[in-house]
Homo-oligomer: A and B are copies of this chain.
Amino acid sequence: METTWTHRLREAGLRVTRPRLSVLDVLSAHPHADADTIVTGARAQHPTLSPQTVYGVLEALVSVGLARRIEPAGAPALFELRVGDNHHHLVCRSCGAVADVDCAVGAAPCLSPSDTAGFVVDEAEVVFWGLCRRCHGQAAEESETVGGAST
């Protein structure tokens, strides 16, 4: 349904505007998009949209819990619509691709550090670093080539 976002926005106490619907559309199509990707994508529907507006929309969505911001080290922030389940992420060191992971084993094993040093912990954020299938495949090919085989 097309008007689902309209309802979600109003339920959250936000006005329904074109920039917001465009951003939500882009996020549906790109589940882990950075601000720049969102600006570019949203301009398909709203060509005059400015980056600042997108930042404003994203902040509004995050603050009412319709979107979540993730910030992998060394990369611009990413936004996703999957909220409320505190899932984690796989990040490719080579191409930056991101995939979702449900919390590792059972409920929330990572929420139990052995010694919290007096901290009251409310969230455990986990990032798995590695290579995505494609980049890992390329790395393997290259080492083969280096090894001698060609073509």
Contacts and interface: CB of A to CB of B under 8 A. Distances in A.
**Copies per complex?**
2
A128 interface: yes
Interface bin, chain A: 35 or more
B125 A130 contact: no
Nearest to A112: B104
A123 interface: yes
A99 interface: yes
Closest 6 CB pairs of A and B: A118-B133, A71-B73, A121-B130, A99-B117, A101-B113, A123-B129
Interface of A: 69-71, 73-74, 77, 88, 90, 92-93, 99-102, 104-105, 109-133, 136
